[in-house]
Structure 1
Amino acid sequence: MLPDRQLSDEGVELNRAVHHLAPHRLTRELLPLLRRGDGRVVHVNSEGHRAALFGTAPVEIDFTDLNCERGYDPFLTYSRSKLANLLDSYEFQRRHPELTVVAVHPGMVRTDLGRHFPRIRVAAMHAISLSARKGAEPLVHLATAAGINGGAYYNRFSPVRSSDASYDTATAARLWRETERSAARL
């Protein structure tokens, strides 16, 4: 998460590159290995896909400004990248039903995600956050437990309904096409 808009070396807005395009590309590259066994993919997501921190409007994908060139709000940009990641998880499951693809919000975890923001704000968030070990527990569970249903979104260990926008199959298909074009540049 960055307070100011930054681009990757390939010219892609950095939140989008890290939180959406990189997981998509990695999952795509691992498909041959995943298909050999009981393939399972766990995408790390966030409840931020529903609404931006300090924002009230629902999050939607803005196809006219995927690279955030018309105004940059770090929290909205992060939320859009997480919605894109979630749409992509669902689309991966639809396109590859032989796999088990899930997305998980591990909880608010003490990481370096906010390292570029004012220390006081980060310290306040860290005070109520989970340790990295606790944050990893649902990921390990979803990656290894029996009976995990593909195409689900989990809030830690519990399957929950994600935002209405995350179930828009037309948006997911369009995003898939855009993502394939963008991920090829990474």
Structure 2
Amino acid sequence: MNTISSINTNRKLIQVFFICFSFLQCISVSAQADNFQVLINKIQQFSKPARILNKHIDATGNGPVEFTNAKKQVLRFRLEHHKLQIQHGGIAYQLFYYKNDYLEKIQTFDVNGKLAGEGESKNESGVVFIIEKPNLYLKKKELIDDAEGNIDLKDDTNEKIIRVQLYDENNMPIPEFQPTYISSKIYWNYNVRMYWP
């Protein structure tokens, strides 16, 4: 009888342990979701509600997180020791705007959710992508897609396929003497969010 009673007691203890462990996991996930909600709420241009698209946070609280929403926007940022990491030039967030699976615009923001310029470039806080030759880009995109991005294409900037318009921290166009074009491969990299500030 004592052996059976001891086994039943051990089973109950194990069940209580697993219930407590599951409860703590739920609290941890809920706290993390609340922390993320505070972070994404700082970016007013990002439509809510949102859901996690990708999250690669290691045990020490370091790594990137991406959110998406019904408007096909993607908001991303990095954590460092569970806190928002400030990237180069004071940039903390990147917001990607897509239409029909093509990247239309990227904006960058500081920790307070204000537009922040990319100081190492032309101090732009926004980049709008205009595909001027869509059929030609589709051919190039197919080659890049087939190679899963691992292809060295000849720089096609001079073919004037994709033009960019830069915007400053006041969301005003940065004047240019002539249009700026980028290569199909660079645009593809932006489209799949390979670039960090």
- TM-score (ref. length: structure 2): 0.24
TM-score after normalising by structure 1: 0.25
The structure whose RCO (Cα within 8 Å, separation 6+) is larger is: 1
Q: Which has the higher helix share?
A: 1
